[in-house]
Amino acid sequence: MRIVTLEDHFATSMMREKFVFPRGFEFNYAERGAYLGYDIPSELLDLGEKRIAAMDAAGIDLQVVSLSMPGAEAFDAETAIAIATDANDRLAAATNAHPKRLAGFASIPTASPTAAVKELERAVTKLGFKGAMINGHVRGEFLDDRKYWPIFECAQALDVPIYLHPTIPHPAVLKAYFEGYGDLCAPAWGFAMDTCTHFLRLVFSGLFDACPRLKMILGHLGEGLPFWIHRLNDHTLSAAKRRGLKKRPEQYLRENLVVTTSGNFFTPAFICTLMALGADNIMFSVDWPYESNRVAIDWLSHLQISDHDKEKICHLNAERILRV
């Protein structure tokens, strides 16, 4: 069975040199790497043989690769343009060298929505990328702000998805929720909190009424949102009307959201996601190199679902939504 994954990251030296982790953010690359059995920072820098060897060892056919968190979102417009352009050019060289094994999601300089639209167009139409990955808030600003909507309008017009990826929680949240508990602020919990809240702000802002065909991808089994659909919907029906939304909140989660399995290889949570969203809206993914290709594939191979659902999750949905 063809296996496509779409939350797999790389890093650039330019981004590393320019980024300073904020006080209070804790993620221990060395500890995580020791647990997984390889060095995360060096795997992130590879866009060639080492990456493909690790895919081969697990049986992954195609990775849709993206610039790692924090991505261009963490920078002012001028720096973000330089980082995104450099990252996209490097990624395009890799996808051109290995067109059957690697594809790309664009990095876009969100701090300048005009430049972000231009770069998204270039990445999709000239570099052959499959969509864009946005790493959460833009230095504390969420994308429900109307000034960012041209990016979503552009994605809808190009018929490509936007992958909303976690980032370091908003500075105020980092302080209020995680001071003294920094170990919880990243993949363990803070990433999901920040990303779910961001996605729900987009829903309640009316973005998906303005862009009804836009597909947004959330990783980590939808960051937990499938578990919340009933309670969320039940408690916001009148709020949604008051805000002038055209549909019930849950409808946007069914029509505009697709999720991946990245880094959430937990069968009870997967079954909930499958029941809540259906097999057409779930795509297998890993989150390399923060997660192990082998662990992900081992989990997948033990999933007791129908062959047709597995085909959808492993490649048919990605082929439909990303045209890979």
Interaction site with ligand GRE (CB under 6 A): 9, 27, 68-69, 186-187, 263, 287, 290
Distances in whole angstroms, Cα of residue 145 to Cα of each of 41, 209, 210, 253, 304: 33, 15, 13, 20, 42
Is position 8 annotated as part of the catalytic site?
A: no
Residue nearest to ligand GRE (CB): 69
Instruction: Give CA–CA dist 105/134, Å, rounded.
Output: 10
Rg (CA), the chain: 18
Choose between 115 and 185: whose C-beta lies nearer to ligand GRE. Answer: 185
Q: Closer to ligand GRE at the Cβ: 250 or 287?
A: 287
Options 4-12, 46-54, 205-213, 306-314: segment touching Zn ion (CB under 5 A): 4-12
> Hey, what are 147's tokens?
């000034």
CA distance 128 to 296: 27
What is the C-alpha to C-alpha distance for residues 77 and 322, in angstroms, rounded to an integer?
28
Nearest-approach distance from CB 190 to Zn ion, in angstroms: 14
Diameter of the chain by CA atoms?
54
Among 223, 287, 296, 313, binds Zn ion (CB under 5 A): 287
Q: For the purposes of burial, counting CB atoms within 10 Å of the CB of 272, is it exposed (0-12), middle (13-18) or buried (19 or more)?
A: middle
Nearer to Zn ion, 43 or 287 (CB): 287
Q: Give the nearer residue to ligand GRE in terms of CB position, either 34 or 210.
A: 34
Binders in 187-226 for Zn ion, by CB under 5 A: none
Rounded to a whole number of angstroms, the minimum distance from the CB of residue 121 to ligand GRE is 26
Catalytic residue among 86, 145, 183, 287: 287
Q: What is the contact surface with Zn ion in residues (CB under 5 A)?
A: 7, 287
Catalytic residues: 287
